[in-house]
Chains A and B, each alone.
Chain A
């Protein structure tokens, strides 16, 4: 009886979240299309989208495959630097620079991945951390190419030529829609990957590595492929960040940036489709609101993070999904 009464109001909720799950890319596109009309803070919205995309790439490894990387800054920063170098040093157009950023991040992911995927647990975290620090140092030292500690300046993109039309990238709203288009594309790709046979393999490897191996899955190669895919998403995020800021700060590659992905992912809900974006939104909103009245904003954001991990271990979006599925708080 008690079961029946709690299950009943959950039915429409479950139907709604089921529909959202089935049409998740369409829902995201619709939301992002109207978002600037209700909340006209394009610069913040762009920042949220870019960091959400970065956390999405990280989530593929952490949430879906179950490996905690502390080195994703190398992928985000690598994407940013390669995109920036293509523009600053080679005068490349955007449609070369962005793929260059993705390719750079994929290459770094292949190197870090090849060395790290044989380990697991804390060792995986440490190996990725150490290798990311190596890449930080390389990019820091190669100042002729990267600007060293001053960052790579002059990553200017004024307009995007699309056939006869030209999009003014300096206009905040246009810029928002350009970034949102890339984000929707990335969400569609991720959705496709998760629904593919490989998506099931990722899940199987997370659930039970030994059993996956006995079934005939090469766990090491599965992880490497997932890491490289993760690198592609993070590289795209990095490249967009370079274009958005017109500079690649060396901090893009720093350990704090790796930590950022972990925090955003945990805040939003690891292993959930929209969790990384929810996490990025909450984190950056908190940052922009709290930093107005205190320079110690990190203290407040940190406290919120700790409370969230303690009382909502599923993360914000994860808790909402759990509630919608009819399972209490």
Chain B
């Protein structure tokens, strides 16, 4: 596994977020290199989701900046992120429940080519259907293409979500706890999928279970109490005394 030595694709500078009087994130400065698979880990309440939500544009930070490919994207509206090449999967399964698996991906693809066209029949846009089929095959859902998304198993819905994120042809793919609530088999399949996807693009992944990501990540960021506790390769993180204390300390509870 390469150490992810590409140039910096995403940078956060002194990122902070307060919710009322509660500080969820404080002074997080970090760099993410192009082509690398970076995992953001930390115990519950470490600020992982807050950090993820700012990176993916769900809400703006209270302070600090986010730079994507050198461009300041702090506080841009959510829909612009997809246009720029940043796609995400949600922590809680988030699909179009009544639409078929194929239509879920097709609509995600359509966002790149047509958003306000009220005239052209979309039945003629057959290219999108073909591409959607290819993406479904990539995430292992081709056989389930005509099923309503709500009728898919949990693991399948998560895979569908990743398919929808891929439809944006992102240069940066953000995944929020992609294996949450999955069975061991589903988790293994998902991890394989993520590894496969990471070969072609930059992936940032938020994960609660430390063990899961150590084997596949190029870089690991550890958050604790809303601050950046440690950063490095999985080996460095494994040897890091403060990280061990945080994780061991948590296990005692």
Contacts and interface: CB of A to CB of B under 8 A. Distances in A.
A213 B240 CA distance: 39
B44 interface: no
Contacts of A198: 114-118
Interface in A185-236: 192-193, 195-201, 203-204, 207-208, 210-211, 213-219, 221-222, 225, 229
B88 interface: yes
Given A208-B94, A208-B96, A211-B96, A196 B119 contact: yes
Given A210-B90, A218-B77, A197 B120 contact: yes
Contact of B116 (A192, A195, A216, A221): A221
A187 to B, nearest CB: 15
Contacts of B113: 197
B205 interface: no
Given A204-B96, A210-B94, A215 B107 contact: yes
B96 A225 contact: no
Given A214-B78, A216-B111, A217-B111, A197 B117 contact: yes
B99 A214 contact: no
Interface string A257-300: 00000000000000000000000000000000000000000000
A207 B99 contact: yes
A214 B55 CA distance: 13
B110 interface: yes
B1 interface: no
A211 B94 contact: yes
A208 B79 contact: no
A215 B164 contact: yes
B121 interface: yes
A215 B80 CA distance: 9
Interface string B92-131: 0011111100010011101111111111111101000000
Contacts of A201: 107, 110, 115-116
A214 B123 CA distance: 24
A110 B79 CA distance: 22
Contacts of A200: 103, 106-107, 110, 122
B168 interface: yes
B163 to A, nearest CB: 12
Given A198-B116, A221-B116, A215 B168 contact: yes
B82 interface: yes
Contacts of B111: 215-217
B118 A217 contact: no
A222 B117 CA distance: 11
Nearest to A208: B96
Contacts of B97: 207-208
Q: Please list the 8 inter-chain residue pairs (A to B) with the smallest Cβ-Cβ separation, ordered nearest first.
A: A216-B82, A216-B111, A197-B114, A207-B96, A198-B118, A213-B78, A215-B111, A197-B117
Interface of A: 192-193, 195-201, 203-204, 207-208, 210-211, 213-219, 221-222, 225, 229
17 contacts: A197-B114, A197-B115, A197-B120, A201-B107, A201-B115, A207-B96, A210-B94, A214-B81, A214-B87, A215-B82, A215-B111, A216-B81, A216-B82, A218-B77, A218-B79, A222-B115, A225-B116
